[in-house]
A = this chain, B = another copy of it.
Amino acid sequence: MDSRFLQDLIVPAQTKIAMIIMDGLGGLPLDPGGMTELETARTPNLDALAARSALGLTVPVGPGITPGSGPGHLGIFGYDPLQYPIGRGALEALGVDFELGPDDVAARGNFCTVDAAGLLTDRRAGRIPTGASQELAKLLQTIKIDSFRFFVEPVKEHRFAFVMRGAGLGDALTETDPQRTGVPPLPVRALEPGSEKAAWLANQFVQEARGKLADQRPANMIMLRGFAKFPALPTYSERFGLRAAAIAVNGMYRGVAKLVGMTALKVDGTTIADEFAALEKSWNDYDFFYLHVKQTDTAGESGDFSLKVSVIEQVDALMPRLLALEPDVVIVGGDHSSPAVLKSHSWHPVPALLYGKHVRADGIAQFGERACARGSLGILPAKDVMPIALANAQRIVKWGA
């Protein structure tokens, strides 16, 4: 279904939609035949809500595909992640929780070693430790060119995320890594007229960086690869007619939400309860609320099954505060799975719950992977959840007589 098709059927309404995303929600049992994190968690509020909801399992990108948080979020936000691929540089920035904006061109950076003649002797500067990179990054952060802003965020060892911020920067740029030693790093070239300013700026930055690093050993130079802006997306207002607010603590999620046109609300504090408080405070001002819980994913990725269970139980305990606001439609789900036994993101479909007055409830009084597999939403692409939520919020008119 073409997104333009849906856009033409959107109508205004007074209804409110709340989407609670537990990052990496989907899990696996510790032992075969056992229960997943969500099934293990004591969730009386979510179970009671499930009984009045339609359940299903969302497929973030496609069968067998393990998504990063960027594509995972695009899916649950209602965009086809395959239609809006996120370039490597933008992924590197998102990966260090950088709040990427619409004027940002990101790249993958790395420290390297050049000789006195400027020829590469080590493309990875001996894989210097992350701590050393952090010190070097501080030197680069002092670089100023006109009114542009630069961000240098260490990733691991010699790698860093690099971001140039300013109006009129394109991302059709060549890389500086010649892929071999004995030659100098390449200059950045613009592949399109719209990227010429960015090419100039990147080359200026590299030149200044070389000066700042001249006395350092072994890392005395940088290389930049995979220049990319975040893909331009139609906003929630344009696509869905929604005044949307995002409640997230971590920069990456605030950034992605802002890139789809949500207002990132101020959260006083960093706990999940603080996030629910921010939601309560702004309840009258928006039609749609995305509330992001990071801790489920962190627990999953660190392999801490019982911590993930306990985070889910915290969210469950906060659900009555959301329901007290009488939202018309509630989505509870995740952007992908992060089973503690895998200590990583995974390809498994993600439990999803859709509550609303006009939902045809499945009558399954449990929110868990196997309960959701029996639900009437079926196993559906994550991007299909938003249209169904909008329909339940009576924001889509009939198509055809």
Residues of A within 8 A of B (CB): 1-2, 5-6, 9, 26, 28-29, 32-33, 36, 51-52, 57, 61-72, 81-82, 85-86, 91-92, 94-95, 339, 341-342, 344-349, 358, 360-363, 369-370, 373-380, 384-392, 396-401
The reply to whether A68 and B399 form a contact with Cβ atoms under 8 Å apart is yes
What separation, in Å, do the CA atoms of A395 and B258 have in the docked complex?
Answer: 34
The reply to whether A362 and B370 form a contact with Cβ atoms under 8 Å apart is yes
The reply to whether A64 and B94 form a contact with Cβ atoms under 8 Å apart is no
| 4 A-B pairs with least C-beta separation | A64-B387, A68-B400, A378-B379, A95-B401
Out of B70, B72, B379, B398, which one reaches A377, CB within 8 Å?
A: B379
Least CB distance from A380 to B in Å reads 7
The reply to whether A400 and B28 form a contact with Cβ atoms under 8 Å apart is no
What separation, in Å, do the CA atoms of A215 and B209 have in the docked complex?
Answer: 86
Greatest chain B CB density within 10 A among A33, A66, A345 is at A66
The reply to whether B33 and A344 form a contact with Cβ atoms under 8 Å apart is no
What separation, in Å, do the CA atoms of A294 and B349 have in the docked complex?
Answer: 33
Each complex incorporates copies of this chain amounting to 2
Q: Which residue of B lies closest to A96 (CB)?
A: B401
| Residue numbers in B under 8 Å from A342 (CB-CB) | 358
What separation, in Å, do the CA atoms of A92 and B401 have in the docked complex?
Answer: 7
Least CB distance from A85 to B in Å reads 8
Least CB distance from A242 to B in Å reads 14
Q: Which residue of B lies closest to A72 (CB)?
A: B400
Listed by A's residue number, 19 A-B pairs whose Cβ atoms lie within 8 Å are: A5-B62, A26-B360, A28-B358, A28-B360, A63-B384, A64-B386, A64-B388, A64-B396, A66-B396, A67-B398, A71-B399, A94-B401, A347-B392, A349-B376, A360-B369, A362-B370, A373-B375, A376-B379, A378-B379
Known: A67-B400, A346-B358. 8 other contacts (CB 8 A): A1-B63, A1-B82, A64-B387, A65-B391, A66-B396, A72-B400, A342-B358, A369-B376
Out of B62, B346, B391, which one reaches A66, CB within 8 Å?
A: B391
| Residue numbers in B under 8 Å from A345 (CB-CB) | 398
| Residue numbers in B under 8 Å from A401 (CB-CB) | 68-70, 86, 91-92, 94-95
| Residue numbers in B under 8 Å from A5 (CB-CB) | 62, 82
What separation, in Å, do the CA atoms of A400 and B339 have in the docked complex?
Answer: 18
The reply to whether A373 and B370 form a contact with Cβ atoms under 8 Å apart is no
| Residue numbers in B under 8 Å from A360 (CB-CB) | 26, 28, 36, 348, 369
Least CB distance from A31 to B in Å reads 11
Least CB distance from A87 to B in Å reads 10
Greatest chain B CB density within 10 A among A64, A65, A348, A400 is at A400
The reply to whether B51 and A33 form a contact with Cβ atoms under 8 Å apart is yes
| Residue numbers in B under 8 Å from A91 (CB-CB) | 400-401
The reply to whether B379 and A380 form a contact with Cβ atoms under 8 Å apart is yes
Out of B57, B61, B63, B391, which one reaches A64, CB within 8 Å?
A: B391
The reply to whether A388 and B61 form a contact with Cβ atoms under 8 Å apart is no
Least CB distance from A41 to B in Å reads 16
What separation, in Å, do the CA atoms of A344 and B358 have in the docked complex?
Answer: 12
| Residue numbers in B under 8 Å from A346 (CB-CB) | 358, 391
Q: Which residue of B lies closest to A372 (CB)?
A: B376
What separation, in Å, do the CA atoms of A399 and B346 have in the docked complex?
Answer: 10
Least CB distance from A165 to B in Å reads 19
